[in-house]
Chains A and B, each alone.
Chain A
Amino acid sequence: MGRYALRRLLQAIPVLVGTTFFIFVIVYALPGDPIQALGGDRRMDPVIARALRDKFGLDDPLLVQYWHYLTGIFSGNFGTTFRGVEVSSIFAGKFQVTLQLALTALVMEAIIGVGLGLWSALRRGRWQDQFVLAVTLLLVSIPPLVMGFVLQLWLGVKFKLGTGIELVPVAGIGAGEKSYLLPGFVLATTSIAYLTRLTRTSLMETLRSDFIRTAVAKGMPRRRVLGRHALRNSLIPLVTYLGADLGALMGGAVITETIFNLPGIGLQLFQSVYLRENTVVVGIVTVLVLIYVVANLVVDLLYAVLDPRIRYE
């Protein structure tokens, strides 16, 4: 299993090089002059534009720029944004915000999604089941943007104005962990709904299988049947979903981060694509790819834990 993990990690290297180059080319090919974009409605003074272009080597051919970037990375220099902020300091400050947001969302997803799914599956066809299905339908159909603003206004503003108690902060990360509860929930809503339905279907299918009938027939207590046999066998698709979702949550947090004013990576990524800041975009994407690779590896390794029949050569 160790060798398997090592091989998977080594496979990530060509993936990373390929991705960085691919992203670099895409950002390079975006229309518009990135330096002029800094000036907004005003034309950049040609002298200043010149100085900035030279500083960032923007007139070099694409491959030369990419080479400069790669060699910079190996000497520990991730470059700076066009506004002069070091990319490494962005990594340090912002990744942790997004990671915390994504993990909060992931935990909520796992607890609420799997919990609701279980409840629903075990009460199949009854009103509880119908209720859960209706709720998930509602969650899927409200866009996170709307959900974010509405919950922010109700729980953040109106509740505080009405009761004088701050249930959750309106925005920012000033209140520590509490700051992430509402944004985390908003980010997780769609996934909660999917995960609920996935859990429900998966568990219902397992409950119909022969080995469950056998376990019930031999008089095993219900708790053990459910916990040991049914749930564990239904977990594989759920774990797959959660693993893939971590990457999606980290990359897709732009809207949530904007609404709740969280200084995270999603917003930075958006701004950098907009400003064509190659070094920042590639840097962020590289780390996202790494997280994706590792998360997928963990998921693959978990398969063996969940189902001993799966072996890695």
Chain B
Amino acid sequence: MRVSMSAKIVAGAALLALAVSACGGGSSTTSSGASGGAAANPIKVYIGEPQNDLIPGNTGESSGAEVIKGLYVGLVSYDQNAKPQLNLAESVTPDDTATNWTIKLKPGYTWSDGTPVTAQNFVDAWNYTALGSNAQQLNYYLSVVKGYDDMNPAPDTSGATPAPKATELSGLKVVDDTTFTVELTHPFSGFETELGYSAFFPLPKAAFGADKKISADYAKNPVTNGPFKLAKPYARGTDQAIEVVRNDTFKGGKAKADAIEYKIYTDMNTAYNDLLAGNLDVMDVLPDAQIPTAKATFGDRYIEQASSGVGWLGFNIQTGGDYAQNPELRKAISMSIDRKTITDTVFSGARTPADDNLSPLIPGYRQGACGEACTYDPAKAKALWDANGGGKVKEVTLSYNADGGHKNWIEAAANNIRTALGITVTPKPYEKFALILDDLGKKKVQGAFRMAWLMDYPSPEDYLRPIFGTGGSSNYVQYSNKQLDDLLNKADSASSADEGIKLYQQADDLALKDLAYVPIYFYKVNAAYSQNVKNVVLDPYEALDVMSIERA
């Protein structure tokens, strides 16, 4: 009896060990690398987990976009100066009013299943993205095309959504296999620039089932038209890597790498350690804490370049405190923030002080456009503050979302304002940005809050309209300036790009005068790569250029 007891304990331990190894067997079959399909030695690139399946119209965040970039090509792409270049399109031609556009495709491009890329593929994809009930992330970008409103009826007062009046954009017409026309809701000369964004990419016939929806099975293993194609289906949520191989039938040139593995990490520091150990080849974003030493560690394999990102402090100018409603007081607050010291010390140089609402990457950016308002001058700020009744203000609040690493710079800015203006400044953390938006809606945000923007397409319009235009998607401050709206409309329908940019700059000047959002810093791209690769180039979207990278 006693013997059997100790035997039982031994057996129990063995069982545990068995369970462990059984799990091991199971997981190694699902893990990457070992399984077939991909080339033996792919280039390994860092990404976070994509939020959605690899469908261009549903990919609004950077990790998914990074992979989309290799899998699909659109009508237009961008060069290193963020200027649009024709890609799939042979020509993109507006009429005199810039309202009706004719788009011709280059012949000979195919999908990875062998079928040709046709005008209908674009129309199908745009219709799918534009239909509100499909809940595609980039739905909003189709709103420039005529017929969008009928497909996206506004919820009625009870909160229910009426059935859409149409399921197709009335502004899209297929002329022949390689030609289609687009009618916009208003004149918009920047439409061609917009076409490089993934909201305007095509989808093949195979994507749509009988119900005209994209099925879950298709989304796991999409048919694509880019320089790379999936090596095996991607099960989002469980797979730790997305493997792609070169698509040798791609007509737009041959990528130098034959396979890329996008490795999914949940923590950037972990990825950085893998990069150091040589298990990862490219990181196109680095953890903030590593940036000061990364340059020394990686030498000429360290990349630093301009980003399209801009960070602001926004003031709730309709419903905020008295100081938030007064442009002169907002200017005084802005002038008491020492942007240079904050970017140099808090961010160790990973940001630069902002002097415009537009990123330096965007055609139309002007150095020093913000002028005095963005220049640190505590004495002048204090004088301006007192002259405009700032003495009555008891407290200034700075709201931020604590999940994004903003605490340090907000506290530094609070310190600046406190010292310069001699008032109480309270940093107010929120759990996440959505909660700041909630409070803004409830008119509970008294002071300033942080906000940032990364471009969708390289045009001043993509900054000014969503952020400063009346009712813009990121105009959380309820800023409304009729003059600015008019200038934006005029710029949209300008006859040339240069003329358009001049008008956008005038609109930008108005925004910089009113200072509903005060620009604080520009983001920078910090990247590094291993000794195993060369020709690492990042495009204006901060994503890896998949065509040029190769094994060293």
- What residue in chain B is nearest A106 (Cβ atoms)? B16
Q: Whole-angstrom distance between the alpha carbons of A86 and B431 in the complex?
A: 26
- Which residue among A38, A89, A174 has the maximum number of chain B CB atoms within 10 Å of its CB? A174
**Is A46 within 8 A of B154, CB to CB?**
yes
- Nearest first, the 9 A-B pairs at minimum CB distance are A93-B238, A85-B237, A100-B23, A47-B132, A36-B434, A51-B135, A177-B24, A176-B28, A47-B152
Q: Whole-angstrom distance between the alpha carbons of A36 and B274 in the complex?
A: 33
**Is A85 within 8 A of B19, CB to CB?**
no
**Is A176 within 8 A of B438, CB to CB?**
no
Q: Whole-angstrom distance between the alpha carbons of A39 and B5 in the complex?
A: 58
Q: Whole-angstrom distance between the alpha carbons of A152 and B279 in the complex?
A: 13
**Is A261 within 8 A of B265, CB to CB?**
yes
Interfacial chain A residues near B152, Cβ < 8 Å = 47
Interfacial chain B residues near A43, Cβ < 8 Å = 437, 473-474, 476
**Is A157 within 8 A of B161, CB to CB?**
no
Whether B213 is near chain A, meaning CB under 8 Å from some CB there, is: no
Interfacial chain B residues near A100, Cβ < 8 Å = 20, 23-24, 27
Query: Of the candidates A39, A92, A258, which one forms a contact with B238 in the assembled complex, judged by CB atoms under 8 Å apart?
Result: A92
Q: Whole-angstrom distance between the alpha carbons of A104 and B24 in the complex?
A: 10
Interfacial chain A residues near B133, Cβ < 8 Å = 51
Q: Whole-angstrom distance between the alpha carbons of A176 and B34 in the complex?
A: 10
Whether A311 is near chain B, meaning CB under 8 Å from some CB there, is: no
Interfacial chain A residues near B235, Cβ < 8 Å = 89, 93
Interface 9-mer from A66-74, A127-135, A165-173, A206-214: A165-173
Interfacial chain A residues near B473, Cβ < 8 Å = 42-43, 45
Whether A27 is near chain B, meaning CB under 8 Å from some CB there, is: no
14 CB contacts below 8 A, A to B, read: A33-B437, A41-B452, A47-B161, A51-B161, A90-B237, A94-B238, A152-B273, A172-B274, A173-B27, A228-B6, A258-B270, A261-B240, A274-B432, A306-B5
Interfacial chain A residues near B134, Cβ < 8 Å = 51
Whether B269 is near chain A, meaning CB under 8 Å from some CB there, is: yes
Near B by CB (< 8 A), chain A positions 60-93 give 81, 83-86, 89-90, 92-93
Q: A32-B432, A170-B270, A305-B5 are in contact. Are A42 and B16 (CB under 8 A)?
A: no
Whether A54 is near chain B, meaning CB under 8 Å from some CB there, is: yes
Q: A48-B132, A50-B161, A173-B240 are in contact. Are A96 and B26 (CB under 8 A)?
A: yes
- What residue in chain B is nearest A36 (Cβ atoms)? B434
Taking the nearest CB of chain A, how far is it from the CB of B198, in angstroms?
Answer: 15
Query: Of the candidates B136, B279, B433, B453, which one forms a contact with A169 in the assembled complex, judged by CB atoms under 8 Å apart?
Result: B279
**Is A153 within 8 A of B278, CB to CB?**
no
Q: A52-B135, A261-B240 are in contact. Are A97 and B27 (CB under 8 A)?
A: yes
Interfacial chain A residues near B250, Cβ < 8 Å = none
Taking the nearest CB of chain A, how far is it from the CB of B50, in angstroms?
Answer: 9
Interfacial chain B residues near A152, Cβ < 8 Å = 270, 273
Q: A37-B432, A83-B51, A176-B31 are in contact. Are A96 and B23 (CB under 8 A)?
A: yes
**Is B274 within 8 A of A45, CB to CB?**
no
Whether A126 is near chain B, meaning CB under 8 Å from some CB there, is: no
Taking the nearest CB of chain A, how far is it from the CB of B426, in angstroms?
Answer: 20
Whether A25 is near chain B, meaning CB under 8 Å from some CB there, is: no
Whether A125 is near chain B, meaning CB under 8 Å from some CB there, is: no
**Is A171 within 8 A of B270, CB to CB?**
yes
* Apart from A173-B28, A228-B2, 16 more pairs, CB < 8 Å: A36-B434, A37-B434, A47-B132, A52-B135, A85-B237, A89-B235, A100-B24, A103-B16, A103-B20, A107-B16, A107-B20, A157-B273, A172-B240, A232-B6, A260-B270, A263-B264
- B residues in contact (CB < 8 Å) with A: 2, 5-6, 8-9, 12-13, 16-17, 19-21, 23-24, 26-28, 30-34, 51-53, 60-61, 132-137, 139-140, 152, 154-155, 159, 161, 216, 235-238, 240, 263-267, 269-271, 273-274, 276-279, 403, 431-435, 437-438, 451-453, 473-474, 476
Query: Of the candidates A83, A170, A176, which one forms a contact with B27 in the assembled complex, judged by CB atoms under 8 Å apart?
Result: A176
- What residue in chain A is nearest B476 (Cβ atoms)? A43
Taking the nearest CB of chain A, how far is it from the CB of B324, in angstroms?
Answer: 19
**Is A261 within 8 A of B51, CB to CB?**
no
Q: Whole-angstrom distance between the alpha carbons of A306 and B9 in the complex?
A: 9
Whether A149 is near chain B, meaning CB under 8 Å from some CB there, is: yes
Near B by CB (< 8 A), chain A positions 224-279 give 227-228, 232, 257-261, 263, 267, 274
**Is A171 within 8 A of B274, CB to CB?**
yes
Taking the nearest CB of chain B, how far is it from the CB of A2, in angstroms?
Answer: 17
**Is A40 within 8 A of B61, CB to CB?**
yes
**Is B433 within 8 A of A40, CB to CB?**
yes
- What residue in chain B is nearest A306 (Cβ atoms)? B5
Q: Whole-angstrom distance between the alpha carbons of A160 and B135 in the complex?
A: 47
Interfacial chain A residues near B267, Cβ < 8 Å = 258-259, 261
**Is A81 within 8 A of B237, CB to CB?**
yes
Q: Whole-angstrom distance between the alpha carbons of A69 and B433 in the complex?
A: 28
Whether A283 is near chain B, meaning CB under 8 Å from some CB there, is: no
Q: A42-B473, A89-B238, A96-B23 are in contact. Are A84 and B52 (CB under 8 A)?
A: yes
- What residue in chain A is nearest B136 (Cβ atoms)? A48
- What residue in chain B is nearest A257 (Cβ atoms)? B266
Q: Whole-angstrom distance between the alpha carbons of A97 and B240 in the complex?
A: 12
Interfacial chain B residues near A177, Cβ < 8 Å = 20-21, 24, 28
- What residue in chain B is nearest A99 (Cβ atoms)? B23
Q: Whole-angstrom distance between the alpha carbons of A228 and B5 in the complex?
A: 10
Whether A218 is near chain B, meaning CB under 8 Å from some CB there, is: no
Near B by CB (< 8 A), chain A positions 9-40 give 31-33, 36-40
- What residue in chain A is nearest B440 (Cβ atoms)? A43
Whether A116 is near chain B, meaning CB under 8 Å from some CB there, is: no
Interfacial chain B residues near A313, Cβ < 8 Å = none
Q: Whole-angstrom distance between the alpha carbons of A51 and B52 in the complex?
A: 16
Q: Whole-angstrom distance between the alpha carbons of A107 and B23 in the complex?
A: 14
Whether A180 is near chain B, meaning CB under 8 Å from some CB there, is: yes
Question: Residue-by-residue, is A146-187 near B (CB-CB < 8 Å gives 1, otherwise 0)?
Answer: 000100110011001100000001111110110010000000
**Is A33 within 8 A of B438, CB to CB?**
yes
**Is B52 within 8 A of A174, CB to CB?**
no
Q: Whole-angstrom distance between the alpha carbons of A23 and B119 in the complex?
A: 50
Q: Whole-angstrom distance between the alpha carbons of A32 and B145 in the complex?
A: 33
Query: Of the candidates B33, B52, B240, which one forms a contact with A83 in the assembled complex, judged by CB atoms under 8 Å apart?
Result: B52
Whether A110 is near chain B, meaning CB under 8 Å from some CB there, is: yes
**Is A174 within 8 A of B434, CB to CB?**
no
Whether A55 is near chain B, meaning CB under 8 Å from some CB there, is: yes
Q: A43-B473, A47-B139 are in contact. Are A172 and B263 (CB under 8 A)?
A: yes
- What residue in chain A is nearest B30 (Cβ atoms)? A93
Interfacial chain B residues near A89, Cβ < 8 Å = 235, 237-238
Q: Whole-angstrom distance between the alpha carbons of A306 and B159 in the complex?
A: 63
Q: Whole-angstrom distance between the alpha carbons of A94 and B276 in the complex?
A: 27
Interfacial chain B residues near A45, Cβ < 8 Å = 139-140, 473
Q: Whole-angstrom distance between the alpha carbons of A41 and B310 in the complex?
A: 12
Taking the nearest CB of chain B, how far is it from the CB of A184, in angstroms?
Answer: 9
**Is B52 within 8 A of A173, CB to CB?**
no
Interfacial chain A residues near B264, Cβ < 8 Å = 263
